[in-house]
């Protein structure tokens, strides 16, 4: 199956108007695609329609006139050949149920949501396959990689990857999204790409905690490196290609999210390290920090699959068991000594 990537012929629906959804909608609209953007909040729809700006989630960015915002999910995706799902991962199931009846038979779905569902421990494509069994697996793709929304919106050079089991579909999605400043690669390791995008948010909370505690660059380098080991361990257990984790969806996204101060997960961790409670932090947040819910999923998934993930275990303990950051750090550092390199 091939998409017609000509902007005059391809109808696009973007589901979710947070900072990343709005940015991707604008990227496509600036290329000439007519984009229907489903917006949850009425006030955000009005902002985009009347002032061409998402003042709530992406303030200061002028949006293309080719974006048509709507609160009507059926209208936003009806008849569209390309659907881009960019809602928080814990809302993917209910959102997909709501649009299932309106999905075109030949639609390709690209998910840019990153997370693991708490109850089922499924990645986003797994949730979509569960809710939309009539959609062929080769019509599901994942867009991931190191990409802060605001920098992409400002056209800062960025590189990402599209994962899909069908090389032809991946190449079509690549062509649709690629611009002179937004370079898109392809791969066929869907599970590895999704795990990299999900678990890095948990590691980013740990990196933020380290910053909040006033630890230095040595600590951050150790967290990033050993965090990548944990992602790789889980990925290998679930059938991922280990090379994925040295690429954009693995090391690239992990470095950005752990080192970049504008990431929501890092911000949550930093405030925890400074002594604030998770309840207090989330009460004051407009946007979702995916790592909070994903920490629970990864903890349960690692136990189910018997995968050693001590950093993720420590973040879970801080978020859900009342452990102090200092106690979690001490527990990490005082584990039994072992060789650095795992067996393949």
**pLDDT attached to residue 133:** 96
- Please count the structural domains in the chain: 2
- pLDDT over 80 (residue 249): yes
Q: Which of 151, 172, 188 is the last residue of a domain?
A: 188
Residues 70 and 87 in one domain: yes
Average pLDDT over residues 65-70: 97
Which of 163, 188, 213 is a domain's end point? Answer: 188
Query: Mean pLDDT across the stretch 17-33?
Result: 98
pLDDT tops 90 at residue 286 = no
Q: What pLDDT was estimated at residue 1?
A: 61
Question: Does residue 342 lie within any of the structural domains?
Answer: no
Confidence of residue 135 (pLDDT cuts 50, 70, 90): very high
Look at residue 255 in the predicted model and tell me its pLDDT.
Answer: 98
Whether residue 249 is contained in a domain is answered as yes
Q: How confident is the model at residue 285 (pLDDT cuts 50, 70, 90)?
A: confident
Average pLDDT estimate for 216-223? 96
324 and 218 fall within a common domain: yes
**Average pLDDT of the residues of the chain:** 96
Q: Given the residues 45, 200, 271, 293, select the one marked as catalytic.
A: 200
Residues 159-210: tens digit of each pLDDT: 999 999 999 999 999 999 999 999 999 999 999 999 999 999 999 999 999 9
pLDDT exceeds 80 at position 2: no
User: Can you give the pLDDT at residue 344?
Assistant: 60
Domain hosting residue 115, numbered range: 12-188
Catalytic (active site) residue 31 = no
Q: What is the pTM of this model?
A: 0.96
Kindly report the CATH number assigned to the domain that includes residue 180.
Answer: 3.40.50.720
Question: Quick check: 16 pLDDT over 80?
Answer: yes
Find out whether 88 and 118 touch, Cβ atoms under 8 Å: no
């Amino acid at each position: 199956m091939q998409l017609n990537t000509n902007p005059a012929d391809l109808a696009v629906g973007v589901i979710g108007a947070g900072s990343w959804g709005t940015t991707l909608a604008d990227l496509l609209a600036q290329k000439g695609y007519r984009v229907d953007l489903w917006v949850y909040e009425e006030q955000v729809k009005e902002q985009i329609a009347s002032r061409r700006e998402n003042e709530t989630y992406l303030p200061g960015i002028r949006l293309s006139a080719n974006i048509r915002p709507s609160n009507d999910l059926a209208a936003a995706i009806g008849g569209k050949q390309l659907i881009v799902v960019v809602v928080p991962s814990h809302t993917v199931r209910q959102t997909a149920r709501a649009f299932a009846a309106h999905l075109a038979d030949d639609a390709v779905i690209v998910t840019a949501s990153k997370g693991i569902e708490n109850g089922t421990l499924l990645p986003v494509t797994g949730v979509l396959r569960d809710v939309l069994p009539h959609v062929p697996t080769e019509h599901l793709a994942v867009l991931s990689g190191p990409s802060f929304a605001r920098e992409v919106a400002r056209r800062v050079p960025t590189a990402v990857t599209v994962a899909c089991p069908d090389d032809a579909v991946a190449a079509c999605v690549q062509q649709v999204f690629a611009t002179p400043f937004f370079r898109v690669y392809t791969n066929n390791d869907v599970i590895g790409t999704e795990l990299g995008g999900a678990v890095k948010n948990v590691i980013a909370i740990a990196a933020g905690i380290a910053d909040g505690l006033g630890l230095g660059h040595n600590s951050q380098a150790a967290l990033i490196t050993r965090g990548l080991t944990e992602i790789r361990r889980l990925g290998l257990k679930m059938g991922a290609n280990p090379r994925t984790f040295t690429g954009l969806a693995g090391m690239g996204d992990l470095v950005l999210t752990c080192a970049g101060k504008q990431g929501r997960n890092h911000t949550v961790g930093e405030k925890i390290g400074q002594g604030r409670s998770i309840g207090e932090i989330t009460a004051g947040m407009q946007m979702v920090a995916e790592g909070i819910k994903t920490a629970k999923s990864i903890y349960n998934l690692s136990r189910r699959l018997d995968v050693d993930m001590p950093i993720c275990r420590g973040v879970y303990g801080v978020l859900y068991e009342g452990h102090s950051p200092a106690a979690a750090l001490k527990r990490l550092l005082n584990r039994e000594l072992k060789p650095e390199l795992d067996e393949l």
